[in-house]
Amino acid sequence: MLFPTVEYALFFLIVLAIAWSLYRFPLYHKSFLLLASYVFYGFWNWSYVPLLFGISLFSGLVAQRIQRSTDRKQRKRWLIGGATACLATLGYYKYTGFLLLNLLALWGRFAKPPAIPVDSPLLPLGVSFFVFHAISLLMDCYRGKVKEPVQLGDALLYVAFFPQLIAGPILRASRFLPQLAKSRDPNKVRVNRAFLLIVGGLFKKVVISNMLATRLVEPVFAVPQSYGGLDTLLAVYGYAAQIYCDFSGYTDIAMGCALLLGYRFPRNFNAPYTSTSPQEFWRRWHISLSTWLRDYLYFPLGGSRKGGARTAINLMITMLLGGLWHGAAWTFVAWGGLHGALLVIHRFWSRIGWTPLLRWRATIAWKWTARILLFHAVCAGWVFFRASSFEIAFSVFSRLATAGPATLAATPVCIVLFLGLAGQFAPTRWRNGLELEMGRWPALARGAALAVALTVIEILGPTGVAPFIYFQF
């Protein structure tokens, strides 16, 4: 069930009404949300609901063990055992084929490899996200960040809560479990904020992302050889806008739905293309993943505490694994490697203390230069991320230097491309102002305004509903 569908709207309205009718009875309220989450997941494939249930139950039980144990070594054993089992599940579903193919390629260097007699397992929707939720639960319990004893029902709902189940944001157990422990307050729902998030997210997904995908990005990345430099450049910019609008659109809708249900999700995107450094970019792009990787991988590796060389290695390991998390292909690893290299280079660059350079870095001209340079470096990474092979990625790069007309630059495409990129520079006070302004309107008028916005989006959107890009991860 995709967010921008009538089916989801009906499902959500029913869930919203029943969930709020049960808010005085937290056990029933949460049990109902859990059931709704399994129904939501089951719409895709019922056969994987036991996997989701099993991972959540397992992580909940291990988290309880960790909390109950007073022996540090034993707690660590439970953590390592639990996290390993979670990662093994992810590895089995996501990386079996990738490992087999690479193993056989290596084997083929020495002898004729055997044929692969099995199929790799079908990838369960959202497995990367719910496994990371499960690990967050274990880690936060191990670090003592979850203060109250973990309730199994809460652990199940934390992992499976339907607004974030398929593509995040990746919630922290230490921040979400306390929300589950409290009763909902029926007088404190941020309705206008939720409406704005849902409308904004739908516009980004349905209008901007879908149009860029079908009319600009897909044709060029399918056959780069058929397009000249201008079309190729537009497609690369187009993909930068598409993936931002697709993913941030999804999380905005997720945040809006959660808000209406009385829950708060952390912000996952904060105008990433306005960043002036790679470090800043990762504080603005997929924030819930970058902080997850920082807290549960980069810091345990030693972070920046063990000298420059070790910091560089830690950054590279973190980003390479972050790339692999996105997909079982070397192109994703290359994407992660490129971002790791950018972070390492920036770290050394920012340490240069030459006074004229420091003065220059403080100027607005440098900020814009850095912003533009970084945006293009990020775009180079997106080429690897989008291309289905290195051959296509390098073909895209080579076509950038080829003369040719901009055959795909139709006015509607240019408009949505501009909105997708320049929209990030819109001041946040505009949205806050609109939220406050809406607060003065009668409730029925707010609802009517929402309906008008939804109608406009439906009319402007292309036919059909494309799945969200991050569903595949």
Partner 1 sequence: MQTMTHSIRQMFLALAGCAVATLLLESGGLASWAHHLELGPLRTVAVPVTERVERALRPLGMAALREEALESLARVGWSDDPALLAMVSAPSAMPNRSGCATEAAPAGLGSAAGALAKGASFPSPAQHNGFLNAAGAQAPLATGVPRVTVLAPLPPIEPGKQRVVALAGDSMMAVGLSATLMRQVAGNGHLRIVKTFRSGTGLARPEVFNWMDEYPAMLGAEKPEVVIVAIGANDAQGFVVDGKVLAFASDAWEKVYQQRVASYLAMVSAGGARVVWMGLPPMRIPVYDEKMATLNRICYTVVSQSPQAVWWNPTPFVGDEAGRYREYLTLANGRSMRIRAADGIHLSDEGAGLLTPVLLKWLDPPPPAVASAQTAPVASAPPAAPVARPKRHSKRAARG
Chain residues in the site for partner 1 (CB under 8 A):
6-7, 13, 16-17, 20, 97, 100-101, 104-105, 108, 112-120, 122-123, 186-193, 195, 211, 214-215, 222-223, 225-226, 260, 388-389, 410-412, 435-436, 439-440, 443-448, 450-452, 454-455, 458-460, 462-464, 472
Q: Choose between 76 and 264: whose C-beta lies nearer to partner 1.
A: 264
Q: Which residues contact 434 (CB under 8 A, 6 or more apart)?
A: 196
CA distance 216 to 238: 7
CA distance 288 to 171: 7
CB of 94 to partner 1, least distance (A): 10
**Nearest Cα to Cα of residue 169 among 122, 209, 212, 132:** 132
CA distance 205 to 419: 12
Structure tokens at 37: 């989450």
CB of 125 to partner 1, least distance (A): 11
Q: Choose between 193 and 286: whose C-beta lies nearer to partner 1.
A: 193
CB of 278 to partner 1, least distance (A): 31
Residue carrying the six token digits 């945006």:
375
CB of 189 to partner 1, least distance (A): 5
Other beta carbons less than 10 A from residue 342's beta carbon: 22
Instruction: From the candidates 286, 326, 339, 346, give the one annotated as an active-site residue.
Output: 326
Q: Choose between 340 and 461: whose C-beta lies nearer to partner 1.
A: 461
CA distance 467 to 92: 24
CA distance 317 to 311: 10
CB of 99 to partner 1, least distance (A): 12
Cβ 95 vs Cβ 328: under 8 Å: yes
CB of 54 to partner 1, least distance (A): 22
Q: Which residues contact 157 (CB under 8 A, 6 or more apart)?
A: 30, 33, 34, 37, 180
**Nearest Cα to Cα of residue 313 among 324, 295, 329, 298:** 298
CA distance 341 to 34: 42
DSSP 454: H
Q: Choose between 191 and 297: whose C-beta lies nearer to partner 1.
A: 191
Q: Which residues contact 11 (CB under 8 A, 6 or more apart)?
A: 1, 36, 39, 40
In degrees rounded to 5, what are phi and psi of residue 2? Answer: -90, 150
Q: Choose between 43 and 366: whose C-beta lies nearer to partner 1.
A: 43
Q: Choose between 181 and 454: whose C-beta lies nearer to partner 1.
A: 454
CB of 256 to partner 1, least distance (A): 12
Residue type at 186?
Answer: P
CB of 323 to partner 1, least distance (A): 18
Cβ 23 vs Cβ 187: under 8 Å: no
Cβ 316 vs Cβ 340: under 8 Å: yes
Q: Choose between 153 and 219: whose C-beta lies nearer to partner 1.
A: 219
Other beta carbons less than 10 A from residue 228's beta carbon: 16
Establish whether 346 is a catalytic residue.
no
CB of 141 to partner 1, least distance (A): 31
Q: Choose between 103 and 373: whose C-beta lies nearer to partner 1.
A: 103
Q: Residue 406, SS3?
A: coil
Q: Residue 302, SS3?
A: coil
Residue type at 336?
Answer: G
Q: Choose between 422 and 436: whose C-beta lies nearer to partner 1.
A: 436
Cβ 386 vs Cβ 246: under 8 Å: no
In degrees rounded to 5, what are phi and psi of residue 158? Answer: -55, -45
* Residues that are catalytic: 326
